[in-house]
Structure 1
């Protein structure tokens, strides 16, 4: 980019344009234009003079050491990397220099994505599962799941417009309450053609008995499975209430087939995308639900939409 601009400066000068015109035309300082022309007259080249500019505090081997250290441990802070470079190579640099060298190598600091903790066996099972069902079309994915919602649950998407000095102004603070003001657990199921009713799991945690009596029997076996037809296949994840022996026995008795599900793969369930979209719809409501009763009403209304 710098070489291209230097060439443009020289070309405009050769065309008879003065320094002021060139600076305004390229939106750069007049001193930059003058320095470029002087350097070109002296060296007949567009590049900087050898040795000009501040000397780099690291060489290629130092940079390679940093670039190879990060892939071994992605969570290393910049100050630890600087300390390791000083111990291994005898080169002392600042944290900011570490970040610049890593950016030069295509590495930048970002918030990590969240996901389940996986062993090698889990990863193999996930791959086998994905390869087995990769050719399914959308008609064959019919899924159920639970999710929990809170009135003030932080999701990382909330933003405020503020000036530099307003970080702790009351209007720019997102209030938090203990346990996010309580929560509501809901259960639901989806397919391409329809959805179940939204079930509120109240007063206690989900158990295998409740899963059968409140969710599967009244909402899956009747009327959902007959509506879908003889090819109905139930997909739920490996939550303990779902995989209890009494649930397996009940589904076998009523003739409902269930998709085998590998361990530690709740994120593969397509309904997670629905919960995410559903949660955003609830949070965007104006006014936002502030109590559990308000949240229940909002959940019911958004689910039926």
Structure 2
């Protein structure tokens, strides 16, 4: 091979260690009769790196580098265990707080980055905490008992239930999903700043109910929902007629433990009209599939081609969004009820990913 053909158009060598594949290629080219300088040009590698790699191959017979000693570790095994145990005892401690505790308890001074590396070594990473309602012992017991009683329910049994709930929609409420494209130093430009308004520009409350095969009409609740209004505007107008659709003897009403739902007059009315109620554990939004329907409902309002600017437009957009939710999506959500029961049992009555 002619050297002129090799050097023609050669790039400047990149100063970095040779990979095992490059070392193997270099050895093959040397066996073909090329000089080390010519091989360095072919591989676009520094000549010093080439000489070192070939010398190492002659000594060890391997293409890989010798194992290095690495940097001096500034913490001992006991220091590492102390860091990990402190984190496992309190998952909300910061790297700065752990560093301070390590310095006080063991007299070892390290950086916050060292603390983070020790946590990464045991697969501990800082993430946003999951959110869920506060569950006291009585709540966990009730949730666990409910899950055990209904874990073997079939999809046909869950199809008898009308899952209901209220939802409040604000005109300009942030959903935590918004992102803005900006450069460094553009944080407070008008085009990259979200301007807030008092009370999110106003809001409305709606009531709805869903089951596997159909759903009720959306009820827009003006002002505050009282027990009397709940009977007259929700139960009489929507729940009672819907019970005939499923079958009055098989129908089950699910509503949570909000004050208008558990008032004495409401309990007496349900008993009078013969509506069976599914006894629902308190603080269990993760068990109610309509919560996921509300998420779909809000996203449809937000993604509409013409977002509402007034409360009247918000009412119309809410009615349209409710009707546009595919029933097959609602059915798929309700069919997750057996999995929700299993999740509560695994969590011993605690919060679940639902």
* TM-score normalized with structure 1 length: 0.87
User: Is the 2:161–2:251 contact (alpha carbons within 8 Å) kept by the matching residues of 1?
Assistant: no
The structure-2 alpha-carbon separation of the partners of 1:228 and 1:59, relative to structure 1 and needing over 3 Å to count, comes to same
Among 6, 15, 23, which residue is 2:28 paired with? 15
The structure-2 alpha-carbon separation of the partners of 1:301 and 1:93, relative to structure 1 and needing over 3 Å to count, comes to same
User: Is the 1:144–1:187 contact (alpha carbons within 8 Å) kept by the matching residues of 2?
Assistant: yes
Count of residue pairs brought into register by the alignment: 293
Match of 2:244 in 1: 226
Match of 2:187 in 1: 167
CA shift, 1:51, in A, is 3.2
User: Is the 1:82–1:93 contact (alpha carbons within 8 Å) kept by the matching residues of 2?
Assistant: yes
The structure-2 alpha-carbon separation of the partners of 1:107 and 1:282, relative to structure 1 and needing over 3 Å to count, comes to same
For 1:144 and 1:43, the matched residues in 2 are separated by: 77
The structure-2 alpha-carbon separation of the partners of 1:234 and 1:57, relative to structure 1 and needing over 3 Å to count, comes to same
Mapping of residues 1-305 of structure 1, within 5 Å: 6-16=19-29, 18-19=39-40, 22=43, 34=50, 37=53, 40-41=56-57, 44=60, 46-52=64-70, 54-136=71-153, 137=155, 139-203=159-223, 205-221=224-240, 223-229=241-247, 230-305=249-324
Task: Note the alpha carbon deviations across 1:74-97, whole angstroms, 9 max, x for none.
Answer: 111111111011112211122222
The structure-2 alpha-carbon separation of the partners of 1:48 and 1:243, relative to structure 1 and needing over 3 Å to count, comes to farther
Which SS does the other structure have where 1:142 is aligned?
Answer: strand
The structure-2 alpha-carbon separation of the partners of 1:219 and 1:56, relative to structure 1 and needing over 3 Å to count, comes to same
The structure-2 alpha-carbon separation of the partners of 1:249 and 1:93, relative to structure 1 and needing over 3 Å to count, comes to same
The structure-2 alpha-carbon separation of the partners of 1:51 and 1:116, relative to structure 1 and needing over 3 Å to count, comes to same
Match of 1:26 in 2: none
For 2:287 and 2:311, the matched residues in 1 are separated by: 29
For 2:22 and 2:304, the matched residues in 1 are separated by: 55
CA shift, 1:38, in A, is 6.3
For 1:209 and 1:144, the matched residues in 2 are separated by: 17
CA shift, 1:49, in A, is 5.0
Unaligned runs of 5+ in 2: 1-17, 31-38, 325-354
Q: Aligned-pair RMSD on alpha carbons?
A: 2.5
User: Is the 1:9–1:36 contact (alpha carbons within 8 Å) kept by the matching residues of 2?
Assistant: no
For 1:257 and 1:218, the matched residues in 2 are separated by: 17
Of the structure 1 ranges 6-15 and 106-115, higher mean CA displacement relative to structure 2 is found in 6-15
The structure-2 alpha-carbon separation of the partners of 1:32 and 1:188, relative to structure 1 and needing over 3 Å to count, comes to farther
Unaligned runs of 5+ in 1: 24-28
The structure-2 alpha-carbon separation of the partners of 1:186 and 1:89, relative to structure 1 and needing over 3 Å to count, comes to same
The structure-2 alpha-carbon separation of the partners of 1:134 and 1:16, relative to structure 1 and needing over 3 Å to count, comes to farther
User: Is the 1:151–1:291 contact (alpha carbons within 8 Å) kept by the matching residues of 2?
Assistant: yes
Larger Cα-atom Rg: 2
Match of 2:34 in 1: none
Which SS does the other structure have where 2:182 is aligned?
Answer: coil
User: Is the 2:227–2:263 contact (alpha carbons within 8 Å) kept by the matching residues of 1?
Assistant: yes
